[in-house]
């Protein structure tokens, strides 16, 4: 992950009653250091810093949050504001 990379981050998901729902954020890296990245959602004004170790790559430019990662108050508010929910009916 480097400056200006466009990425998607899966921040959660659930399965129930034959439906799969996934919460995702789409954006880009606005700054990067050796240990962290600053993420900005497409169309968003605010940014958040995330540790690089907390982002587990699951595909080309697709990441999920590591199981051990627990967002702080600001990160949680950011996720709630910018996450988009996608659902797939598996029936």
List CB contacts of 40: < 8 A, sequence separation 6 or more: 27, 28, 30, 46, 47
| Residue 1 belongs to some domain of the structure | no
Higher pLDDT, 33 or 1: 33
Domain that includes residue 47, residue range:
6-85
Pairing of strands 62-65, 6-16: parallel
- pLDDT tens for residues 4-29? 889 999 988 778 887 788 888 999 99
- pLDDT tens for residues 44-63? 889 999 999 999 999 999 99
Can you give the pLDDT at residue 41? 92
Q: The tokens of 39 are what?
A: 């993420």
What is the value of pTM for the model shown?
0.82
Number of domains comprising the chain? 1
| Residue 91 belongs to some domain of the structure | no
| Residue 90 belongs to some domain of the structure | no
């Amino acid at each position: 992950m480097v400056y200006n990379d466009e990425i998607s981050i899966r921040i959660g998901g659930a399965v129930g009653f034959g439906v799969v729902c996934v919460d995702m954020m789409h954006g880009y890296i606005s700054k990067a250091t050796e240990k962290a990245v600053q993420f900005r959602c497409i169309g968003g004004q605010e940014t958040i810093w995330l540790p690089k170790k907390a982002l587990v790559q699951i595909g080309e430019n697709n990441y999920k949050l590591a199981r051990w990662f627990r967002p702080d108050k600001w990160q949680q508010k950011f996720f709630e504001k910018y996450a988009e929910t996608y659902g797939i009916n598996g029936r």
